Amino acid sequence: MQNSRGRRRAAGPASTPRVVEVITAERPRDLHRDARRRRGPLRQITEFAAASGIGQKAGIALAATGLVLTVTVPATSPVMATDATGGSPVAASSVTPQPQVSAEAGAQIDFSRSAVVTQADPDGKLKQLLSAQSAGAISRAASAGSLGAPLAVMTTASPFGYRVSPITGGNGDFHRGQDYVAQCGTSVMAAATGTVTFVGWHQFGGGNRVVIDHGNGLETTYNHLSSFSVKEGQTVSRGDVVALSGTTGASTGCHLHFEVQVNGEVVDPTGWL
Ligand SMILES: [Zn+2]
């Protein structure tokens, strides 16, 4: 096939196995849209902000208003600075005249929640995101890196989104998740702490499927599995093995179909990994 510039169009990555599957939504979208709209004041604020042209970032800022951590500042010690010769620290005021800034002992300073991150907790970023707003209000830039990888080795076999159908060859096939290369029997891990809400057969192509609810409208699903390692209702931690990969359901080869759902609608998983 030739494109308009006369170059040969690549037929696709040759190094990744071609696996195909068709997974369809199990429910019409519009039924849940109304329910989502009624969710809560924060979402309404952000939707209002988006609709009125303030933009998503402003919406998030609005949503975060009031979620502040109050810190009490103890009686202060002098601000120190190092002088240019590399000598011992000297009082900042002796280097450059500083505007008079003072805080009385016991003064309160408000930090926004985003300034406080618990680095030791692998779920820290996700908890912080979801505690401040519903998942639907979170931008891709903010969510990136908040979920853990469901496989030890992550090699994309087929990306999320519209694609040429691997079965019919037609355009407009919507791929609801991200496919990753995984030999059958590979450990599949929880992307974050959550509660297992479904373990069983997905009638719409996913085959053996696990769904984990991470709260605030965020869910992940794991599909085409060969076996399960968890039960419904079980609490799992990030990195816990929840299943072994397989090729059950509408699948032509071993791989993991991984989905991220926000308020019941699939989103691009790469925006969260
Ligand atoms: Zn898939």
Domains held by the chain: number: 2
CA separation for the pair 37, 22 (Å, rounded): 29
Residue with tokens 């500042």: 73
Report CA(66)–ligand 1 centroid distance (Å).
40
Which helix (H) or strand (E) is 58 found in, with range?
Answer: helix 56-64
Q: What backbone torsions phi and psi does residue 43 show, to the nearest 5 degrees?
A: -65, -40
> Is the residue at 54 inside a domain?
yes
Please name which of 258, 260, 255, 257 lies closest in space to residue 271, comparing C-alpha atoms. Answer: 260
Note whether 59 and 171 are same-domain residues.
no
Note whether 60 and 148 are same-domain residues.
no
> Is the residue at 105 inside a domain?
no
> Is the residue at 134 inside a domain?
no
Note whether 65 and 168 are same-domain residues.
no
Dihedral through CA 236, CA 240, CA 243, CA 247, nearest 10?
120
Report CA(208)–ligand 1 centroid distance (Å).
13
Report CA(246)–ligand 1 centroid distance (Å).
12
**What is residue 6's predicted lDDT score, i.e. its pLDDT?**
43
* Residues of the domain holding 51: 45-69
Report CA(210)–ligand 1 centroid distance (Å).
14
User: Residue 179: which residues within 8 A CB-CB, separation 6 or more?
Assistant: 19, 21, 156, 157, 158, 159, 255, 256, 257, 258
Q: What angle do CA 10, 12, 16 make, to 5 degrees?
A: 145
Q: Which of residues 34, 69, 104 is at a domain's end?
A: 69
**What is residue 73's predicted lDDT score, i.e. its pLDDT?**
39
User: Chain-centre distance of CA 117, in angstroms?
Assistant: 17
Report CA(20)–ligand 1 centroid distance (Å).
7
The amino acid sitting at 137 is A
Report CA(166)–ligand 1 centroid distance (Å).
11
Note whether 149 and 64 are same-domain residues.
no
Report CA(18)–ligand 1 centroid distance (Å).
11
> Is the residue at 197 inside a domain?
yes
> Is the residue at 81 inside a domain?
no
User: Chain-centre distance of CA 192, in angstroms?
Assistant: 10
> Is the residue at 21 inside a domain?
no
DSSP string, 229-270: S--TT-EE-TT-EEEE-B--SS-SSSEEEEEEEETTEEE-GG
Helix, strand, coil shares of the chain as percentages rounded to 5? Answer: 20, 30, 50
Report CA(259)–ligand 1 centroid distance (Å).
8
Note whether 62 and 168 are same-domain residues.
no
> Is the residue at 207 inside a domain?
yes
pTM over 0.85: no
Q: Which of residues 11, 37, 69 is at a domain's end?
A: 69
Note whether 260 and 158 are same-domain residues.
yes
**What is residue 249's predicted lDDT score, i.e. its pLDDT?**
96
**What is residue 1's predicted lDDT score, i.e. its pLDDT?**
43
User: Residue 62: which residues within 8 A CB-CB, separation 6 or more?
Assistant: 45, 46, 49, 54
Q: What CATH number is associated with residue 265?
A: 2.70.70.10
190 with 236: CB under 8 angstroms? yes
Report CA(256)–ligand 1 centroid distance (Å).
7
Series of mean pLDDT values for 10-residue runs along the chain (273 residues): 45 51 65 48 45 43 42 41 42 50 58 54 88 82 94 96 77 90 98 98 96 97 98 98 97 97 96 96
DSSP string, 73-105: PPSPPPPEE--TT--S-EEHHHHS--------T
**What is residue 110's predicted lDDT score, i.e. its pLDDT?**
52
**What is residue 270's predicted lDDT score, i.e. its pLDDT?**
96
Report CA(153)–ligand 1 centroid distance (Å).
17
Note whether 50 and 159 are same-domain residues.
no
Q: Which of residues 36, 69, 102 is at a domain's end?
A: 69
Note whether 164 and 49 are same-domain residues.
no
Please name which of 217, 201, 219 lies closest in space to residue 209, comparing C-alpha atoms. Answer: 201
**What is residue 136's predicted lDDT score, i.e. its pLDDT?**
82
User: Chain-centre distance of CA 104, in angstroms?
Assistant: 41
Report CA(61)–ligand 1 centroid distance (Å).
35
Report CA(145)–ligand 1 centroid distance (Å).
21
**What is residue 49's predicted lDDT score, i.e. its pLDDT?**
41
